[in-house]
Each structure stands twice: as C-alpha cells, then as structure tokens.
Amino acid sequence: MSDITFYRLVIADDHPLFRGALREAVSGVFERVEIAEAGSFDQISTLLDRGGDVDLILLDLAMPGVRGFSGLLYLRAQYPSVPVVVVSATDDPTVIRRCMDFGAAGYITKTLGVDVMRQAIVAVLQGALWTPPDVDLSAPADPETSATLARFATLTPQQVRVLMMLSEGLLNKQIAYELSVSEATVKAHVSAILQKLGVESRTQAVIAASKIELGQWPPVAAAQH
C-alpha cells in the first residue's frame, strides 16, 4: 500500500502457527497496522465489541464456536461495515461461491503464496472483491440454494447466534445464560427463526442449519426427508 493509513485487522483461526504465518504476511504489507488474533468465535465477538474500528477480518471457516458458514453469516449481519475475507484450506468452488453469496469480501485458500495473499488483502481494503483467479463463479445458483440463502439472510444477528446454539444442542435455559437474556427472549427468537426458515420445530430448524455447514452444498438428502 502506498499510503500511510493505519489499519486494524483481526486474524481469526484456531491454529496458532497459521495465525503467526498470516500475521507475518499481513505485517509485510503495511507501514502502520495493528493486528489482533482470535482462536475462537467468541474471541472475535469480544474483540469487535470492545470498540474501535476494524478494517478487515480474516476468518477461518472451521474454528471453535461456529458451524460452517454460520460464523460468516453472523459477522456480516452483526458488523455489516467490516469486510470479511475467508481464509480456508478448502478450495472447493461451491464453498467459495457460498461464502461470496453470504457476503464475504474475499476468499483466500491457505495454499496460496504469501505474495498472492497480500495482493488479495490489499484489493479488499481498496474496496474490491477477491477470489482465486482459477475459480469460476459465473454459474448461476440453483433455485433451491438461492431460496435457502434468502431465508437465512432474513435472520437477525441474535437469531443467527440462537440458531448456532440450537445446533449445538443447547436448551433455551442454557442459551439464555450464554446470551445474558431471559428465557422468554430466547423463546421469541426461536419462534421467529422457525417462521423465517419456514419450519415447524426446533429439530427442523437444526436440519435447516446443517445446510449451511461445509460439505452440505448444494442441499441434499436432509432437505428431502
């Protein structure tokens, strides 16, 4: 970057060695940069809620506290002004397409060289979208996938968190404790989730949530039973 702008970035990955490697790669791009690290999804939320503007989140899809695309979905809903670049070992074009559909500003595979990673980060900070150049994302999404994406996009950030916790098997009382809200509030969120996803039970909501986990695109058998 040619200017001397001060940037604040968050690297979210549960592997300390990779966080260190990514920190080194990012540090080589900027003259003035502050980099915070998170090893779990809760740590990301803590960093972002602490205050201060964050210019970019580098997010691993597979880390404690998230299931597949749900972490990305939550971050885009809760912090819409903060761009998120997914950094993943997965180079499946379908996964990359889903990340971009859910609002990622970029997608970097962990096999890319340092120079390419740096180019991607700079491009996103300059307002562009970035995906690996050899990945074709031009094919239109199938109608069922588009409908599923649209339904999840209507959930509020808190409803996304509640759905994530339902998927982990937590009861209303446990969810209320984790979110510091009343059980009545959790019940209201669950009712809204069922309505927005077009399902009738918590179990069906969890099945729907499984469709935004890695390896579940396009939606397969679970949607048909």
Predicted confidence (pLDDT) at residue 209 exceeds the cutoff of 50:
yes
| C-alpha dihedral (210, 16, 43, 207), degrees to nearest 10 | 0
Give percent above pLDDT 90 in the chain: 28
pTM: 0.79
So what's the pLDDT on residue 222?
Answer: 33
Of 34, 108, 98, nearest in space to 72 by CA: 98
Residues in the chain: 225
Quick check: 224 pLDDT over 60? Answer: no
What single-letter DSSP state applies at residue 223? Answer: G
Residue 75, SS3 per DSSP? helix
**φ, ψ dihedrals at 14, nearest 5°:** -85, 5
Report d(CA 222, CA 225) in Å as an integer: 6
Name which of 193, 183, 210, 182 is nearest 159 in CA terms: 193
Structure-model confidence comparison of residues 115 and 219, the more confident one: 115
pLDDT in tens, 7-40: 899 999 888 888 888 888 888 788 888 899 999 8
> What pLDDT does residue 219 have?
39
Asked if residue 40 lies in contact with residue 14, where contact means CB atoms within 8 angstroms, the answer is yes
